[in-house]
Structure 1
Amino acid sequence: MLRAIFLTALMASPVLADVTSPSGKTVECYCTDKQRNRVELGETVCLQVDGRMFMAQCQMSLNVPMWREVQKGCLSSSLDGGDNLSEPGGINPKI
């Protein structure tokens, strides 16, 4: 019974991201973005593929780093073209 609990706990633990090569060297695993910048496992970025934009997370699949879609669309912020934040306009100077 104790052995079954130990094996279950072992299977539920997170898998380490580093891979050991046959020569015994540790190989770092990471993804790359469009500009070939390194993106660590677990990081989430906005990707644009074939005109479609989505949030993707760098994950491992069968010992290979890959991008997995985690949300449709991308998080963004923008200002309406009519807003001019450099001019206070509606602020009461007596406050």
Structure 2
Amino acid sequence: MKCVRALRFLALSLAAVALVAGSVSASAPGGRCTCRHRDGAKYELGQTACIRIGDISYLARCEMNLNVTTWKRLQDGCPTAGLAVTIVPSAPIP
């Protein structure tokens, strides 16, 4: 009788472990996947960043490729902001 109880308990325990393991592996992919920048910053899927390696820089987007997050190169160089300076001639002082 004790042997039957022990086997039943073992079977139920293994079934519970299998259910838990199945639910963990079936979690939604891309649930909070991020790409890491060299400085340690995290970027969500779809975000873009300027990647600099040595003297080379390029704009890249965080994407998923074969269940692995990766940076996809979008263009060489990174966009920069600039201020256009317009010289307005001054009026002569009377």
TM range (shorter): 0.5 to 0.7
Counterpart in the other structure of 1:69: 73
Q: Structure 2: how far apart are the matches of 1:21 and 1:70?
A: 34
In structure 2, list runs of 5 or more residues that go unmatched: 1-22
For residues 55 and 67 of structure 2, what CA distance do their matches in structure 1 show? 29
Corresponding position of 1:42: 46
What corresponds to 1:28 in structure 2? 32
Identity of aligned residues (%): 28
Q: Which amino acid aligns with 1:31?
A: C
Q: So what's the TM-score if we normalise by structure 2?
A: 0.55
The runs of 4+ residues in structure 1 deviating greater than 6 Å are none
Q: For residues 91 and 42 of structure 1, do their structure 2 counterparts lie closer, same or farther at Cα, with a shift above 3 Å needed?
A: farther
Q: How many residues align?
A: 67
Measured on the aligned residues, the alpha-carbon RMSD in Å equals: 2.9
1: distance between equivalents of 2:68 and 2:90? Answer: 55
Q: TM-score, normalised by structure 1?
A: 0.55
What stretches of structure 1 of length at least 5 have no aligned partner?
1-19, 84-88
> Would the alpha carbon gap of residues 61 and 31 (structure 1) be closer, same or farther in structure 2, given more than 3 Å must change?
same
